[in-house]
Amino acid sequence: MSGFASFPGSDVRAKLDHPVIDCDAHVVEMPMAIEDFFKQVAGNDAPERLAKARRQQYNQQSKFLWWGVPSGPNTKDRAMSMLPNFFKSRMGEIGFDFAHFYSTAGIPGLYIQDDELRPAYCRALNMLYAEMYKDAADCLRPVALIPTFSPQEAINELEFAVKELGHKAIMIGTEIIRPVPGAGEAAPYKTGSIAIDAPFDYDPFWQACVDLKVAPVGHTAAIGNAYRNSPSNYVFNHLGGFGVGAEYFARSLFLGGVTRRFPQLSFGFLEGGAAWALNLLNDIVEHWEKRNVEHLEKNLDPAKVDVPLLVELFDKFGNGRLTSERIRTMPFGPLSRPERPANFNEFEACRMTEIDDLGDLFIKPFYFGCEADDRMTSVAFNRRLNPLGMKMNAVFGSDIGHWDVMDARSILSEAWSLVDAQLLSLDDFRDFTFVNPAMLHLTVNPDYFVGTSVEAEAAKLLAKRKPKSKAA
């Protein structure tokens, strides 16, 4: 983020008649502070045990992030992510009214392979965040980490984070990542979903999210999978990684029927932008049109193939090995076998019956985190590109604390450049920086902003919105 030194975020904020809510800043944790709580949760030898586990986990694996936080002339931006009270003191300068803080250390922490250390490490971070942000709770909100290698693991930490520590926002592990058995240390890890074909029933966890009024948000990158597994080039591994991780989770939630069974929930997908989501939505429409049960049975059922017509055409136009005798003997092939798979209706879990169902099953419950310099954010607001003629829920995320923010004062200004370029309207910008970031949480918890600096504006917003239409 650079190039807006003469037009700081405070100048953009002065133009607006609404608050700005940052949906995705990052805390840069002090390692010694993490260790204080980690030892408290898992014992004095926990840091050493974790270091050993990580050496084994990342041996000969993908090249991960290095030189990842601001330094030099932007040391203040690094300090903002480490010191909540300092961040609060600069909010007027950068033009923000409220900000959410997602983990840095916890993004890989959610996928620690040791089943004892993983939940203990996440709990330690959640305890640290509760302490760090208690003096700035009116305008800064930390996000608790919820590991999900099993539903019970997830429920245990969710209840502790919300009931004991008072957290109101969560970041979940959206996948189960394990080594491929017998594949060797250099092999990519195997990724499994918690929303479709999962090894456990996660519905109790989703219900717990409903009961505790929290929106499950993912911040999952695809680094380490087969297509992003370079041992030498982090940029190669990072490009598009968050979008790929988010797309996998969104696909799983939709086709796994989670948005159908839990219409009360909203889901967030951070830092991957919105272009992948629009592409997925259009792809779902295309697949529904061609692979719904009625179309399959009418147009693709091998039992309905006109064998005499095939024989006639092969007799007339065949040559060499393409003979009518052969097609008469074997009119079916690998892609046209008459038998049906056990799961014949692949839209059954989400109970989709028409394209308009996607409004409730995909567009309304999903919120897509977009960074300020992402010009593709504009496609989320383009009704002409959307097969349902609707806008999608793009939410503004600063990514403060990480390497791609060069100057925190420029973040809101760079987002505003989309308005100057006529890629977003003023109403779109309001939705992007206030309405959607607020509704991600308000739809699940109407009291989410009570006691904060944006309480009054959030209450007005909620009063103007009709009750969220959800699928039955």
CA distance 255 to 361: 10
Q: What is the mean pLDDT of the chain?
A: 94
What are the strands, taking DSSP E only, across 305-392?
Answer: 366-371
Q: Which amino acid is at 441?
A: H
Measure the CA–CA gap between 218 and 368, rounded to whole angstroms. Answer: 10
| 140 contacts 87 by C-beta, under 8 angstroms | yes
Give 168's Cβ-side CA count (13 Å radius): 19
Q: Distance of CA 164 to CAs 125, 134, 151, 156, 302, Å?
A: 14, 14, 19, 11, 58
Could you list the beta-strand ranges (E) of 143-189. Answer: 144-146, 170-172, 175-178
Report phi then psi at 371, rounded to 5.
-85, 160
Count the residues in the chain: 472
Confidence of residue 109 (pLDDT cuts 50, 70, 90): very high
List own/partner pairs for 85-91 with CB under 8 A and 24 or more apart: 85/135, 85/136, 87/25, 87/136, 87/140, 87/400, 88/136, 88/139, 88/140, 90/408, 91/139
% residues pLDDT > 70 (the chain): 95
Task: Return the minimum-mean-pLDDT range out of 189-203, 224-238, 264-278, 393-407.
Answer: 224-238
The structure's pTM equals 0.94
Q: How confident is the model at residue 253 (pLDDT cuts 50, 70, 90)?
A: very high
Q: Measure the CA–CA gap between 95 and 11, rounded to whole angstroms.
A: 8
How many CB atoms sit inside 10 A of residue 95's CB? Answer: 25
Specify the 3-state DSSP secondary structure of 367.
strand
Q: What is the pLDDT of residue 345?
A: 96
First to last CA, the chain: 43
Alpha carbons 58 and 65: distance in angstroms, whole number: 12
What's the pLDDT at 385? 97
> Is residue 49 within a helix (H) or strand (E), and if so which, with residue range?
helix 46-57
3-class secondary structure, 112? coil
Q: Give all domains of the chain, ordered by start, each with its CATH number.
A: 9-286+362-464 (3.20.20.140)
Q: Which pLDDT tens digit goes with each residue over 31-59?
A: 999 999 999 999 999 999 999 988 776 65
Q: How many CA atoms lie within 13 A of 458 on its CB side?
A: 24
- In this structure, the dihedral spanned by the alpha carbons of residues 235, 236, 242 and 248, taken in order and rounded to 10 degrees, is -170
Contact 137, 99 (CB under 8 A): no
Window from 49-63, 172-186, 314-328 with minimum mean pLDDT: 49-63
R_g of the chain computed on alpha carbons = 25
Mean pLDDT calculated for residue range 89-113: 96
The position carrying tokens 């989670």 is 258
Structure tokens given for 173: 């592990």
**Residue 156: enclosing H or E segment and its boundaries?**
helix 151-159
How far does Cα 79 stand from its chain's mean position? Answer: 26
Query: Which residue has 């009518």 as its token pair?
Result: 324
Confidence band for 472, pLDDT divided at 50, 70 and 90: very low
What is the tens place of the pLDDT at every residue in 129-146? Answer: 999 999 999 999 999 999
* 324 contacts 318 by C-beta, under 8 angstroms: yes
Question: What distances in angstroms separate CA 340 from CA 150, 289, 344, 413, one per listed residue?
Answer: 32, 19, 6, 56
What are 114's two structure tokens? 């040791």
pLDDT of residue 458: 98
Residue 322 near residue 311 (C-beta atoms within 8 A) = no
- Amino acid, res. 207: Q
Report the amino acid identity of residue 64: F
What pLDDT score does 331 carry?
Answer: 93
